[in-house]
Structure 1
Amino acid sequence: MFENRQIPTDITGTFEVIRSDNHLDETSNKNVKYIKQQTAAKWQKEYIPLRNHPNNIEEHYDPYVLFCLFFDDIILNTIVDYSIKYSTSKNRNNFKFDINDLWKWLGIVILSGYHVLPQIDLYWSLDEDKGVSLVRKTMSRN
């Protein structure tokens, strides 16, 4: 199937090469079946350009557009639906949640990755040096 110089080098670990043809061993005149060949893959870094995309993505997309490529209306509505189903399964029947609340929550999550506090509840703190008024005005803690 493969000659020694034709063994693929892009497979990780070891692999088995089985040749379907029998070869004649010249020293003993017996049919010999080659069963196993082991080799390690040789990896190299290679740039693969994206197809149908501009060369410089930063020139054509702002962060919001890139975010919306992954979180479209279908995904966001699915998150809202499953959040409501989860709250119902936990007997929180008065739980109200819609797409606007999800956008607010996502904003708080992104902000909390940028403005890090030691505890989550400190974002709603009334202390001047701890609380974040934008978070407190956007959504209640509970």
Structure 2
Amino acid sequence: MGLFSNLMDSFFNKQNLKAKEGFKQDLIKNIQALIAYKGESNLSVQDFEKEVIYYACDILLHQKSQAGRFPSDEVMTSIIKNVTDAMKDLLPEYTEKHALFAQEGVRINLTQAPNMQEIIRVYYNTIFQR
């Protein structure tokens, strides 16, 4: 591996870590709202799966609204992975199996739910009780 490749790998690793940490802070706020809305004892890992999928979809839909298209598959995969890695850091019950489900779930929701942005808006308005 050449010097340029090493520099690029280092740059992208730092960017991914920065993104993951930002996602983690957002997920903490969203989980706190979810707990306040549903009650901690009423939450299941499926609630966290839904949160990850909706949060990643929201990021990607925002990027699409800015650029006029979704990012490349490589970038999309990286964003979803950073979101799932952030959730795995926060919740030990959220496993690689759930992360793989999210990779698929995000893509399915983005392609098969034309009103996904509205679904996400209603979801966040509900849990944040706006």
Normalising by the residue count of structure 1, what TM-score does the alignment of the two structures yield? Answer: 0.31
Normalising by the residue count of structure 2, what TM-score does the alignment of the two structures yield? Answer: 0.33
Larger % of helix: which? 2
Larger % of strand: which? 1
Higher relative contact order (CA 8 A, sep 6+): 2
